[in-house]
Amino acid sequence: MRQFSLLTIFLMTTFCFAQKNEVYESQVWVADQGDGTYKNPIIHADYSDPDVTRAGNDYYMTASSFNAAPGLPILHSKDMVNWELINYALPLQVPVEHFNIPQHGNGVWAPSIRYHNNEFYIYWGDPDFGIYMVKTKDPAGAWEDPVLVMKAKGAIDPCPLWDEDEKAYLSVAWAGSRAGVKSILTMFKLSPDGTKVLDLGRHVFDGHEDHPTVEGTKMYKRNDYYYIFAPAGGVATGWQLILRSKNIYGPYEEKVVLEQGKTSVNGPHQGAWVETPQGEDWFYHFQDVDAYGRIVHLQPMDWRKDWPVMGKDNDGNGIGEPVMMHKKPKVGKTYTVETPKETDEFNGNGLGVQWQWNANPNILWHAKLPGKDYLRLFSMATPKEAKNLWEVPNLLLQKFPAPNFTVDTKITLIPEDAKQPRKAGLIVMGRDYATVTITQKEEVFYLQQTQAINADRGAEEITNEEIKLKDNQVFIKVEVVAPDAMCQFTYSENGKKFKKIGKPFKARVGKWIGAKVGLFSISTPEAKRGGYADVDYFRITK
């Protein structure tokens, strides 16, 4: 475990975790309307399965990160609407060796974050290994090494609850793909320190008849009732279910409290109940919007007869529907508009916190040195078994930030060895992907627009268009347009006049995640060493 701790320290430095920069305001999506109201989604990015906890006047959010590293993003807010991405609780996915190669769709599923005894705890399920926990006293600083709380195949979506009698419990759902059964919820006794499950568990709810695919448990206690907030009905088509009982093991009453209804917000569920110091109640949930991922909404919430009421009941059926605009939560003062960072000028001491790799990172993949206003990506040999970039670990990626946006970057390729081709470029990544790639052939530089349709099934990457460049640097853009996330690549050799290249490309989801956009620098499997690409900036604008 000591080795993991040293790597944690290194990665915290490399990614500038918890480094307080100037307030960042997106050019492409801002929820705060500046007049005391907000619009949904409050974050138009793939923070899947969000959970939120409050500590005093501060709010902290985490979300699923699946195979991406670092994992378990930590976002901070003072007013519940404006959020800053400040850190990651999991610098390396564990088991480390397993996640050193891309593990699409695996890794961190549906975490829960809780503030207990002046410490922050995050529990998550890895469907192949079991339930893990990390904790810290400072969410913007280093988190302790992960603890395997329960070894189990298919156990997912855990949530702890510490009761008044010092007893602790852990609710768990099950992934049918690994466990062989789903749509049931199980309660386990948990050690008071939160580090291990103490019994074999008891099932407390079966959703097969009325609430198929019930999962995503979040536990609370209020007015002597134990509550399990649980989504049901599927990611893109489901509803928010509430279970309550005065006995932790049930029997549980049930009530659907949030549904799509006649709104455009499909599958509104799986999130967090948060109570403000001023006594207001709010509910965070996600909406699945295909290539854009699972985006985060905030709903007003109230209590009636000890049942939560969310959103607005537009049709009078007793079930709330999501609102798209609302007054901001009352938190005692007005805070500056802020959004998770997107643009990176590469003029700091490390990578911006918005970046994640396609697998656990290696220190040799990049260099971001103090005083250098560019990012250097080394030309790493692709794995011999990789059929395309889907299986390449050193892809540097970030989430789609809005329905419509443009990415602008400048890349210079330094091959060092003309006999072994090097490639670097801009990529839109998902189960299908497309790139604009700068490469060299016999000391001549070319620009290629490529794509791989069904990359996740091993499809070959093909070149749609290739042009000869005057030298080894190029300006590249991709414009992404709603509603279908259509992407058009353009390029320029002088940074002023841009031309279209290749074909329009429709971005496609990854495995359980939205599409991503980012950078890569590679060489052939046969290349022994040498070569790199320098990236001057990576800007996201309208």
pLDDT tens-digit series, residues 328-368: 999 999 999 999 999 999 998 899 999 999 999 999 999 99
What per-residue confidence (pLDDT) applies to 133? Answer: 98
Task: Give pLDDT, residue 18.
Answer: 37
**Whether residue 542 has pLDDT greater than 50:** yes
Average pLDDT of the chain is 95
Position 383 pLDDT exceeds 60: yes
Report the pLDDT averaged over residues 82-87. Answer: 98
Q: Is the pLDDT of residue 19 over 50?
A: no
Is 416 one of the annotated active-site residues of the chain? no
Does this model's pTM top 0.85? My answer is yes
Instruction: Determine the pLDDT at residue 17.
Output: 44
5 has pLDDT over 80: no
Average pLDDT (511-527) is 95
* Phi and psi angles of residue 496, each rounded to the nearest 5 degrees, phi first: -115, -55
Pick the CATH number of 37-327 from 3.90.1150.10, 3.30.1600.10, 2.115.10.20, 2.40.50.140: 2.115.10.20
Q: Is residue 279 over pLDDT 60?
A: yes
What is the pLDDT averaged over residues 400-417? 95
The yes-or-no verdict on residue 9 having pLDDT over 80 is no
Q: In the annotation, is 35 catalytic?
A: no
What pLDDT does 416 receive? 84
Note the Cα 316 to chain centre separation in Å: 35
Chain-centre distance for alpha carbon 49: 9
> What's domain 356-541's architecture?
Sandwich (2.60)
pLDDT tier at 418 (50, 70, 90 boundaries)? low
Tokens 């564990």, residue located? 94
If you average pLDDT over residues 512-540, what whole number do you get? 94
The fraction of the chain above a pLDDT of 70, given in percent, is: 96
How distant is the alpha carbon of residue 224 from its chain centre? 34
Question: Is 542 in contact with 450 (CB distance < 8 Å)?
Answer: no
Q: How confident is the model at residue 22 (pLDDT cuts 50, 70, 90)?
A: confident
Six-digit token string for 389: 């970039």
Catalytic annotation, pick one of 215, 391, 432, 536: 215
Asked whether residue 427 carries a pLDDT value surpassing 60, the answer given is yes
Parse the chain into domains and list their residue ranges.
Answer: 37-327, 356-541
Instruction: Report the distance separating Cα 354 and Cα 398, nearest Å.
Output: 6
Q: Of 49, 84, 157, 479, which one is the catalytic site residue?
A: 49
Tell me what the mean pLDDT of segment 170-195 comes to. 98
pLDDT greater than 50 at residue 446: yes
Instruction: Report whether pLDDT(12) > 50.
Output: no
pLDDT at 21: 57
Would you say the CATH fold of 356-541 matches that of 37-327? Answer: no
Q: Residue 203's pLDDT is what?
A: 98
Q: Give the whole-angstrom CA distance, residue 22 versus residue 230.
A: 37
Confidence band of 105 (pLDDT split at 50, 70, 90): very high
| Residue 334 burial (CB count, 10 A) | 12
- Residue 6, classed as helix, strand or coil, is helix
